[in-house]
Amino acid sequence: MKLKWSGVAVLAIFASAAHAQSSVTLYGAIDSGVFYQSTAAASFAPTAHNNGHVYGIKDGSLYGSFWGIKGAEDIGGGYKVNFRLQGVFNSSTGKLGLADTTGGTAVFNQQATVGLSGAFGTFDAGRQYTPMIYAMADTDVRAAQYFGSILGAWLGLNQAAGWPGTNTNVPIGALYDSNALVYQSPKFYGASVALEYAPGGVPGQIQGGTRESAVLRYSNYGLNLSAVYYNAHDTNLAAATPSGLNNNRFYYLGAKYTFRGVSVSASYGIGKNPSNTSLADYEMISGGLGYQFTPFFKITSGFYYLKDRNNSANHSSEYAVGAEYSLSKRTIVSAQVGYVANRGTMNQTIMYGQIVAPGVSTTAAMIGLRHSF
Amino acid sequence: MKAMNGLRVAFGVAIAATSISAWAQDGAAAGASADTAVTASGGMTAKATRQANRALRRKVYAALAKHKEIDAGDISITAKGGAVLITGTVQEASQIDTVTEVAKGVAGVTSVTSKLTVQRPFGQ
């Protein structure tokens, strides 16, 4: 019986693609808005200064603009071959999103995968989202959005660890991994596991540039639980020869509970350089509270705290609150406000890609429109 | 039995009507109308009613767990008598109907109110 159910589940997941086997599905979203921030900086450099307030058009009120192509082919016996190509673009400028290489861009910077799915689960090879980012989005009331969320907090941890913000090869954890092999198990009573291994592809090296991660998730009874282990070698090295140095480790535990209209979330994470914790050792704590007033209107809020475990003078507290109203099934308008108190060398941002100077407290607000297609 | 179910539903509606905000029902409203419960549901105490409601809620979640494409961690299910209220989010529009049908198929469920909305999975 269990096997049968798995088959049904797989069929259901790919039902939309099943009738379009010989063609592909084009999908995506365009998201833009008016943005204000009380301070700004030119880069994430420790010496960056506050250049004053900014006011402008900004891509990504909820998430970044993106587009993708996906498809699935039924090869019989309950198996399917799947592919997905997906990348972000900036709706303000038309520019493509960041690649692993500093300053570089990639057409399909989010996902470029081919894989197999069946009763065993799914297996995908290529550039893709890491399992850890889904685990974090699942356990954040603000769902790892661009404005004031667990995504910005985790990136704040990376900025503190020296990430320049101009590539996707971050020092702690990862949002995307290239050359990755990811296995996702089916759910058993709501529980599932995802395993990732990315061979480094470095000549003469077995550990050079490798990444591995394991994520445990549970989702039932209104409760989402996530546990993340991520470890990588030679990440965020600027043009240096990979040596197999184990320099990226991230642990995360998170929970979100939904009862009637109310959602509550909390999480705890640690990110460090396991080879030398004096270079990077940070703590991340989050809390969230949201209320769905009607199926079309909700308010979400979050608190995100970062701490440097090597120097207690460096810490950051961020508060964000946002209202989302669905104009239709495909279009959402939103209004959001955030405040971040950065201390010491911390430069946690409120909005993804909108840089603030170290130790400078900042307020930001955004009104946006997101249309999915 | 049908008459009793009707009374239970009526009792549920009464509780819903008297509570100011939906999520504060369990504590205040149920306690205040405990006397009514005894007379209205023919000897069934407020505590027993709550237990029955929770048991039904668990049965709906257990039924949903068999549909592996659905993340029931994002879905809230509450029961009052046989009336089930579903709120929260699903990843695809088609899953709204699936969840409603699954809940209707659970023994003891007399009506289903769905306020589910679609929230696309992260990154899509």
User: What H or E segment, with its residue span, contains residue A5?
Assistant: helix A2-13
- For the domain A2-372, what is the CATH superfamily, name and number? Porin (2.40.160.10)
Question: Taking Cα atoms as reference points, which of A266, A337, A327 lies closest to residue A299?
Answer: A337
Tell me, what's the pLDDT at B42?
Answer: 56
DSSP class of residue A171 equals S
Partners of A31 in the beta sheet? A370
Neighbours of A30 (CB within 10 A): 17
Contact between B53 and B46 (Cβ < 8 Å): no
Q: Provide the angle, in degrees to the nearest 10, between the axes of the packed helices A150-160 and A131-138.
A: 130
Cβ-Cβ pairs closer than 8 A, A with B, add up to 103
**Is B51 in the A-facing interface, judged by CB distances under 8 Å?**
no
Question: How close A153 comes to chain B (CA, Å)?
Answer: 17
Q: Pick the residue from chain B with its C-alpha nearest to A67.
A: B124
**B2 pLDDT exceeds 80?**
no
A-contacting residues in B 90-109 (Cβ below 8 Å): 92-94, 98
Structure-token pair, residue A367: 């009104």
Inter-chain residue contact A190 with B120, CB threshold 8 Å? no
Inter-chain residue contact B93 with A222, CB threshold 8 Å? no
Which residues in B lie closer than 8 A to residue A256 (C-beta atoms)? Answer: 73
Q: What's the pTM?
A: 0.86
B-contacting residues in A 352-371 (Cβ below 8 Å): none
Q: How far is CA A246 from the centre of its chain?
A: 22
Cβ contacts of A61 within 8 Å, gap of 6 or more:
A31, A32, A33, A146, A147, A334, A336, A366, A367, A368, A369, A370
Inter-chain residue contact A219 with B71, CB threshold 8 Å? yes
The vertex-B91 CA angle with A35 and A230, nearest 5°, equals 75
Q: How far is CA A213 from the centre of its chain?
A: 15
Contact between A41 and A357 (Cβ < 8 Å): yes
Inter-chain residue contact B76 with A259, CB threshold 8 Å? yes
Q: Which residue has the tokens 């894989």?
A: A115
Task: Find the CB nearest B73 among A12, A129, A219.
Answer: A219
Question: How close B26 comes to chain A (CA, Å)?
Answer: 12
Neighbours of A93 (CB within 10 A): 9
Q: Pick the residue from chain B with its C-alpha nearest to A329.
A: B118
Q: How far is CA A86 from the centre of its chain?
A: 14
The residue extents of the domains of chain A are: 2-372
Which of A156-189 are b and which e, b meaning 16 or more Cβ less than 10 Å from the residue's Cβ? bbbbbbbbebebbbbbbbbbbbbbbbbbbebbee
**Is B72 in the A-facing interface, judged by CB distances under 8 Å?**
yes
Tell me, what's the pLDDT at B29?
Answer: 39
Cβ contacts of A23 within 8 Å, gap of 6 or more:
A71
**B16 pLDDT exceeds 70?**
no
Please report the DSSP string for A31-87 in residue order.
Answer: EEEEEEES---S-S-TT------EEEEEE-SSS--EEEEEEEEEEETTEEEEEEEEE
**B123 pLDDT exceeds 80?**
yes
**B101 pLDDT exceeds 50?**
yes
Nearest-angstrom CA–CA distance, B15 and B17: 5
* pLDDT over 70, % of chain B: 65
**Is B21 in the A-facing interface, judged by CB distances under 8 Å?**
no
Nearest-angstrom CA–CA distance, A117 and A74: 10
Nearest-angstrom CA–CA distance, A147 and A339: 11
What is the ipTM for the molecules in this complex? 0.88
Contact between A62 and A368 (Cβ < 8 Å): yes
Nearest-angstrom CA–CA distance, A369 and A61: 7
Contact between A365 and A38 (Cβ < 8 Å): no
Query: Which of the four pLDDT bands, split at 50, 70 and 90, describes residue B124?
Result: confident
Q: Pick the residue from chain A with its C-alpha nearest to B114.
A: A295
Q: What are the φ and ψ backbone dihedral angles of A147, each rounded to 5 degrees? A: -105, 115
Question: Which CATH number is correct for B2-118, 3.30.1340.30, 3.40.50.150, 1.10.1740.10, 3.40.50.720?
Answer: 3.30.1340.30
Inter-chain residue contact A258 with B98, CB threshold 8 Å? no
Q: Which residue has the tokens 């009637």?
A: A260
Inter-chain residue contact A261 with B77, CB threshold 8 Å? no
Q: Pick the residue from chain B with its C-alpha nearest to A294.
A: B115
Cite the DSSP H helix spans in chain B.
2-18, 30-32, 34-40, 46-65, 93-104
Inter-chain residue contact B74 with A224, CB threshold 8 Å? yes
Which residues of chain A, if any, have pLDDT below 50?
Answer: 1-13, 15-20
Nearest-angstrom CA–CA distance, A9 and A257: 24
Nearest-angstrom CA–CA distance, A81 and A114: 7
Nearest-angstrom CA–CA distance, A248 and A42: 26
Inter-chain residue contact B119 with A143, CB threshold 8 Å? yes
Contact between A77 and A66 (Cβ < 8 Å): no
Helices (H) and strands (E) in chain A, counts: 4, 17
Inter-chain residue contact B73 with A256, CB threshold 8 Å? yes
Q: Pick the residue from chain B with its C-alpha nearest to A5.
A: B66
pLDDT in tens, B55-93: 999 999 999 999 999 999 999 999 999 999 999 999 999
